Chain A
Amino acid sequence: MKKFFKRLLKHRSAQIGGIVVILVILMAIFAPVLAPEGYDRQNLFRRFEPPSSETWFGTDQMGREITTRIIWGARISLMVGTLSVIIGVVGGGFLGLVSGYYGGNLDRFIMGLMEVLLAFPGILLALTVVAILGPGLTQVMVAVGIARIPQFARLIRGSTLSVREKDYIEAQRALGSRDSRILFRHILPNVLAPVLVMGTLSIGTSILAAAGLSFLGLGAQPPIPDWGGMLSEGRAYLRTAWWVGVFPGIFIMFTVLGFNLLGDGLRDILDPRLQRR
């Protein structure tokens, strides 16, 4: 474990990604300190003030500080990103383990279903789910999470297939362990490494997918400062007040980039084939 962190700290893209991710996390945690007045203080007489030393990122169409909204928005983005990945990992993990371990018709059935779901682009799947559940932040998290399930299921099934043939699993079986014990105590820990990589990478893309849904007006309801929603509102004013849309866009970009770089770094370190001696 120590070795792992040492290598992680040395890895260039993991360093950069890690710093960005930590900054965003700090921003989210300390939002009440950094922007104590909250994200919804309107002043209709101060609409569209351009960025200045007083208001760093300017004010929006309701006369709210974009800086404070971006700080509070970090909470929304991180929450959506991580929770939807957790939904994907838990759902996909269970299906993948069961499918890989038992094999046979059950495997064919679950994987067939996953293939069908994979045939749809993730955003389309998420759109369908939101259309059924209605708009809202929770719905978006569930939708993006569900759209992730097939990817994780396939990934974990693959690892499970190779792990289940190992001698120590065979030994457990011979000892008469229950399936559930074998699955969760012995197989699960051994298939987690690729999940960690893909999970980290997925947080970035999930934030992006959620921002996309909010951009289409299906996500967080006002006045919640969701970056995707802010970007969508800012689009209308791009020619008259560029700062309303540009700053949330930049923050989405850097956060997603941060998670992707970190994920790339993790993959390099955890993949034995890519390891340098």
Chain B
Amino acid sequence: MLKILSAGFLVLLLLFGSGQAMADDEFIIALESDITRMDPIGIQDATTSQVAFQVMERLLARDYDGNLVPALATDFEPNEQGDEWTFFLREGVTFHDGSTFDAHVAKWHFDRARGEDSNFRGQFSIVEDVEVVDDYKIKFYLERPSAAFIDNTIMTNAGYIPSMQAYEEKGEDFGYEPVGTGPFMWYDWEPGEEINLVRNDNWWGDGPLLGAVTYRVIPEASTQIVELETGGVHLVTRGLQEDVQRIMDRPEFEVVTSPAYRNRHFLLQQEKEPFNDILVRQAVSYAIDMKTIVEILAYPLMEPAVSLIPDASWAFTDDLVDYGYDPDKAEELLLEAGYTRASNGKFEKDGETLEIEILCPDGRYFMDKQISEAVRHQLVELGLDIRITIQEWGAFLDRAFAGDFQMAYLGWNQSSPEPSLFTDALVKTGGRANDAGISHEELDELLIEAMKVPDIEERKVLYAEAQRIINENAWFIFIGNESMVWMFPANVQGFNPSPAQSEDLTQIYFSN
């Protein structure tokens, strides 16, 4: 009897045990927030986009260095004026539901992307028409020549092409059961917990080597690290400086960091007191030793920045006004702006102390709160009255979008080195993230011109001039460029992430 019992117990243990252990070809990735709807024309957030990348594909992809490489299109060519773009589609590709990928599906998709329901219709508005030339050839007719056409349309989230058959069968539900052509297929999703993908054996490319990919939702950065150390996840892409340092020191883990297209800055509200005066903007810029602050508090996950366009972009120049740390100069500028030092050491004008509120989100950006505190400390030492208001992300965004701030800690992420993604959104008149109402005629002209010129060297010159204007006006105090970091066990092979291409999991396998 005892034997039977213990044998039964053993069987139970085996069953239970095997259920708990990870399959040895399953790769588990930590996500900081859950995904939303997977309909490409509605995807607005980075986590959903990251999962969509495995299930669906774009016409083109990027390699390690950010160069465009074939994906669902094998090649493309613009006409001479640059207002007609032809894509040659890959033959023999099937969606996970067995339907065929061809020019008709592509046209159907891009018509949706241009349509009413699309969050990307603004970017796609440059497209006048999409034409099916033959079964494997599709042509985009543009309103006007555009140098950034591919970056602004094909390479956005709306560039992921889903199955038309799945859309017709499932209707709006297909956003929750996405069907694409990607290396991994949708399996299931426990909201708030995990997303499971399995290998697509019929993928047209080389691989994937893994049997399954699982995304686990773990909001806390420190919990993600604990999970990495205890084997609960294989890939973590964020962490506190101290934790990252600790993981770096351990030989059983690999840590890759890379500068990314992620600018962090204080935006000064130039429409309101006191930052409507350029002298005050410049004074505050000189009063902050941002380089030291960033190096101490955030390096290596953030590196000091001097321009709105990230260092990693081809358009970056460092031939700009240098707002290095110079408190004397800051004082001089404030005096010039009409402020005087009161008996208590504070600066005042017409009997009123110079007060500034720093608006800061609560941990949305790496070390945002600590950096704001350090900045506050230096400005207080200069003799300003500084108050920090930390607000939860939703409330913070409401105020930021409404321009209701004096000095706000903001960031802008892109996955491409294209400079217009930064300049046109943030400083062009009416730009979609131009929250301080910046409007500068000469700058606008430069930015419009830079979108018309196809030659990269000519564009470089124009963007260098644009960056000079931006810095001379001191609308921003640049904090840094946030790096990307990938932490994974050393036995993970075939993973070679870069800011341009961080999501390719097809060559990953585990060595022992």
B243: chain A residues within 8 A (beta carbon): 239-240
User: Contacts A62-B370, A62-B373; is A221 near B387 (CB within 8 Å)?
Assistant: yes
Residue B374 interfacial (CB < 8 Å): yes
Q: Annotate A209-245 by CB proximity to B: 1 below 8 A, 0 otherwise.
A: 0000000010001110000000000011111110000
| Chain B minimum-CB-distance residue to A62 | B373
Chain B: interface size category: 20 to 34
Q: Are B373 and A222 in contact (CB under 8 A)?
A: yes
> Are B377 and A40 interface neighbours, CB within 8 A?
yes
Our pick among A44, A135, A221 for the contact of B374 (Cβ within 8 Å) is A44
Question: Are B242 and A221 in contact, with the CB atoms below 8 A?
Answer: no
Query: Which of chain A's residues has its CB closest to B362's CB?
Result: A217
Q: Is B7 an interface residue (CB 8 A)?
A: no
- Asked if A134 is at the interface (CB within 8 A of a chain B CB), the reply is yes
Least CB distance, A68 to chain B, in whole angstroms? 15
Among candidates B296, B297, B372, B395, residue contacting A222 with C-beta atoms closer than 8 Å: B372
With contacts A222-B373, A223-B373, A223-B376 taken as known, whether A236 is within 8 angstroms of B240 at the C-beta atoms is yes
Decide if A47 is an interface residue (CB 8 Å cutoff).
yes
Q: Does B148 sit within 8 A of A, measured CB to CB?
A: no
Answer yes or no: A138 CB below 8 A from chain B CBs.
no
Residue pair B390, A135 in contact (C-beta under 8 Å):
yes
B344 to chain A, nearest CB (A): 15
Residues in A30-85 with C-beta less than 8 Å from chain B: 40, 42, 44-45, 47-48, 61-62
Q: How far is B246's CA from A241's CA once the two chains are assembled, in angstroms? A: 12
Question: Are B369 and A222 in contact, with the CB atoms below 8 A?
Answer: yes
Which A residues lie within 8 Å of B369 (CB)?
A: 222
Q: Are B395 and A42 in contact (CB under 8 A)?
A: no
With CB as the reference atom, state the residue of chain A lying closest to B225. A239
The CA-CA distance from A47 to B380 in the complex, in Å, is 20
From residue 351 to 389 of chain B, which have CB atoms closer than 8 A to chain A?
Answer: 362, 369-370, 372-374, 376-377, 380, 387-389
Residues of A within 8 A of B372 (CB): 222
> Across the two chains, which residue of chain B brings its CB closest to A45?
B296
Closest B residue to A136 by CB, please name it.
B389
- Note all chain B residues with C-beta closer than 8 A to A221: 387-390
Give Cα A223–Cα B376 distance, bound, in whole angstroms.
9
Question: What per-residue 1/0 map shows which CB atoms of B239-253 lie under 8 Å from chain A?
Answer: 010110010000000
Residue of A nearest to B378 (CB): A42
Establish whether residues A44 and B389, one from each chain, have CB atoms under 8 Å apart when the complex forms: no
Q: Shortest beta-carbon distance, A145 to chain B, in Å?
A: 22
Distance of A246 Cα from B298 Cα, bound (Å):
23
- How distant is the Cα of A62 from the Cα of B243 in the complex, in angstroms? 17
User: How would residues 214 to 252 of chain B score, 1 for a CB under 8 Å from any chain A CB and 0 otherwise?
Assistant: 000000011000000000000000001011001000000
- Tell me which residues across on chain B come within 8 A of A236, comparing CB atoms: 221-222, 240
| Chain A residues, Cβ within 8 Å of B221 | 236
- Chain A residues within 8 Å of B387, by CB: 221
Bound form: Cα–Cα A212–B52 in Å: 38
Tell me whether A222 and B242 are in contact in the complex, defined as CB-CB below 8 angstroms, given that A44-B293, A61-B370, A62-B374 are known contacts: no
Q: Are B377 and A135 in contact (CB under 8 A)?
A: no
CA distance A237 to B222 in the complex (A): 9
A240 to B387, CA, bound (A): 29
| Distance between B227 CB and nearest chain A CB, rounded to angstroms | 13
How many angstroms from the CA of A236 to the CA of B380 in the assembled complex? 27
What A residues does B74 contact at CB under 8 A?
Answer: none
- One digit per residue, 1 when the CB lies within 8 angstroms of any chain A CB and 0 when it does not, for chain B 243-279 equals 1001000000000000000000000000000000000
Q: Is the CB of A237 within 8 A of B242?
A: yes
Contact status B395-A134, CB under 8 Å:
yes
Contact A237 to B240, CB < 8 A, known contacts A45-B296, A47-B296? yes
Closest to B293 in A: A44
Give the distance in Å from the alpha carbon of A104 to the alpha carbon of B389 in the complex. 47
- Tell me whether B491 is interfacial, beta carbon within 8 Å: no
Please report which residues of chain A, range 231-270, place their CB below 8 angstroms from some CB of chain B when the two chains form the complex. 235-241
Interchain CA distance A135-B221 in the complex, whole Å = 24
Q: How far is the CA of A222 from the CA of B360 in the complex (A)?
A: 11
**For residue B125, which residues in chain A have a CB less than 8 angstroms away from its CB?**
none
Docked Cα-Cα span, A162 to B243, in Å, equals 61
What residues on A are CB-neighbors of B242 within 8 Å? 48, 237, 240-241
Residue of B nearest to A223 (CB): B373
A240 touches B246 (CB 8 A): yes
Q: Give 9 CB contacts A-B under 8 Å.
A: A42-B374, A45-B296, A47-B296, A61-B370, A223-B377, A223-B388, A237-B242, A238-B222, A241-B242
Which A positions have Cβ atoms within 8 angstroms of B? Answer: 40, 42, 44-45, 47-48, 61-62, 134-135, 217, 221-223, 235-241
Closest 4 CB pairs of A and B: A240-B242, A44-B296, A42-B377, A217-B362
Additional A-B contact list (14), CB under 8 Å, known A40-B377, A47-B296, A221-B390: A44-B292, A44-B297, A135-B389, A135-B392, A221-B389, A222-B369, A222-B372, A222-B390, A236-B222, A237-B240, A237-B242, A240-B242, A240-B243, A240-B246
